[in-house]
Amino acid sequence: MILTVTYNPAVDQTITFDEPLEPEVVNRATDARFDAGGKGINVSQFLTEMGTETLATGLLGGFTGTFITDQLADASIPTDFVELDEPTRLNTTALAAGTEYKMNQNGPSVGADVVEDLVATIADRDPDRVLVGGSLPPGLTTDAIDRVTSAGSWQTAVDVSGDLLRELSAEYALCKPNREELAEATDMAVETIEACATAAASFRNQGFERVVASLGPDGAVLAGPDGVVHAKPPEVDVVDTVGAGDALLSGVLAALERGDSDELALATGVTVAAHVVEQAGTGVPALDSVFEERTAVETRWL
């Protein structure tokens, strides 16, 4: 079972406008939707759609926290969150005439005591793999992430910003930076696929068995014990990139949980991501055929 930890979840609001946004006027939206969000939560939703056993946990509070638990329950995703007094944050993405605007809140301030409550929740579930994903709320440091991976025998993956990756001190099974985060974490060039492969391979020495780097339209690379493999994404019409990195990670984790090779795992990840970018918002598309579709993904060892 893959347990996901989201320290700083969000309700994701996606608003669509037909015309460009203008200041000091009322901009009328043509569509709006709300989704349960946060990296770990997103991954649990994708895993469920792929038929992979998962449970979502983390910190939730207030009316926005209730919305998230209700939405996950409606999607038959098991949850076991630590409750906070302050409300979970609301993040907004505005899509206007081909331009994407993102407005994110910081989240509620919390104390370090909630980390031990969360660790106890994880230990009670005894998962095979744990993913810690997303930003940290005010009041927590990377010690909260290191505490999770050192608390049990599970394999821990992490998906956080590049500056946080550099501060981690524990050993991890996997990390998933995007191109910019890889550059920030390594201080290395990332202009080409080959440069990204070199940076990802180098970063393994910082305590990561595998480094999966998402490269947008260039696909993704995975640096692991067997070397570095690149996967070219399928050609699709990109509508919205929100959640693409989470989709990639969910496919990789689902395949590794099945015992698949690194090459197949990366092909699975880019297949899931291709489905997600074809739609607006962070809703979950049908993913029941990704394990068949992944065989069409072009991969190469670098």
What token pair was written down for 23?
A: 């200041």
Residue with tokens 């099974």: 173
- Those residues whose C-beta lies under 8 Å from the C-beta of residue 169, and which sit 6 or more positions away, are 142, 146, 207
Report, as residue numbers or ranges, the catalytic residues.
246
Number of C-beta neighbours around residue 20 at 10 A: 10
Residue with tokens 């031990």: 116
* pLDDT tens, per residue, the chain with 302 residues: 999 999 999 998 989 999 999 999 999 999 998 989 889 999 999 999 999 999 999 999 999 999 999 999 999 999 999 999 999 999 998 999 889 898 999 999 999 899 999 999 999 999 999 999 999 999 999 999 999 999 999 999 999 999 999 999 999 999 999 999 999 999 999 999 999 999 999 999 999 999 999 999 999 999 999 999 999 998 887 887 778 899 999 999 999 999 999 999 999 999 999 998 888 766 788 898 999 999 999 999 99
- Those residues whose C-beta lies under 8 Å from the C-beta of residue 270, and which sit 6 or more positions away, are 219, 220, 231, 232, 233, 234, 248, 251, 297
All structural domains of the chain: 2-18+30-301 (3.40.1190.20)
Q: Quick one: CA torsion of 37, 179, 289, 14, rounded to 10 degrees?
A: 30
pLDDT by residue (tens digit) across 223-266? 999 999 999 998 887 887 778 899 999 999 999 999 999 999 99
Helix (H, G, I), strand (E, B) or coil at 214: strand
